[in-house]
Amino acid sequence: MKIWAIVKSCQFRGVHHYPEGAKLTNEIAQTIQHPHTHIFHVEVRIAQDHSNRDVEYLSLENDIEYYIGELKKVLKGNPSMSCEHMGEYFYNKLKKIGAYKNKDIIIDVLEDGKMGTSLGDY
Ligand SMILES: [Zn+2]
């Protein structure tokens, strides 16, 4: 059995686009080639080593909020970041924090809370 610490519903407004969208055949999907706004939802799970909460929820939430602030700056300079890029960003940043370094991490980044990516140590 695995036990996970979960922080859900961290959100931020961001503008991005997908230049390759021009190649898509679906007319609606082609619109993503142009800059558009989402409320991105970030959900993070980190494996606990035991049931006495070695990953503290509030600390994890603070870490995610900090990296959301940093990501917003990165996204302004590189608006073609996808949800997958953002998920990798959070994964790599959190893996460098001592408390999470050797733990399994799963990151979900969803556009408007509906669709997006899930990546990490499955
Ligand atoms: Zn989008």
The string of DSSP letters for 24-71 reads: -SSHHHHGGGS-EEEEEEEEEEEEESSTTTSS-HHHHHHHHHHHHHHH
Cα gap 34→17, rounded to integer Å: 5
Q: In this structure, is residue 68 part of a structural domain?
A: yes
Mean pLDDT of 72-79: 96
Question: What percent of the chain shows pLDDT beyond 70?
Answer: 100
| Residue range 13-23: mean pLDDT, rounded | 93
Residue 63 in domain: yes
The answer to whether 12 and 40 have CB atoms below 8 angstroms apart is yes
**Whether the predicted pLDDT of 83 surpasses 90:** yes
- Is residue 9 pLDDT above 90, yes or no? no
Q: Cα of 81 to ligand 1 centre, how many Å? A: 9
Quick check: 116 and 83 in contact, CB under 8 A?
yes
Using the CB atoms, write b or e for 62-90: b if 16+ within 10 Å. ebbeebbeebeeebeeeeebbbebbbbbb
What is the distance in A from the centroid of ligand 1 to the CA of 103? Answer: 30
10 alpha carbon – ligand 1 mean position (Å):
17
State in Å: Cα 33 to ligand 1 middle: 9
Task: Assess if residue 29 is contained within a domain.
Answer: no
* CATH (domain of 54): 3.30.479.10
CA–centroid distance, 56 to ligand 1, in Å, is 32
Higher-pLDDT residue of 97, 21:
97
54 falls within a domain: yes
**Average of per-residue pLDDT values in the chain:** 95
Q: Are 114 and 106 in contact (CB under 8 A)?
A: no
State how many domains the chain has.
1
What pLDDT is recorded for position 50? 93
Identify whether 26 is part of a domain.
no
For 46, the domain range is: 3-19+35-120
Residue 1 has pLDDT above 90, yes or no: yes
Q: DSSP class of residue 103? A: S
Is position 27 within any domain?
A: no
* pLDDT score, position 29: 86
- pLDDT for res 73: 97
Say if 91 falls within a structural domain: yes
**Is residue 71 situated within a structural domain?**
yes
pLDDT in tens, 38-67: 999 999 999 999 999 999 999 999 999 999
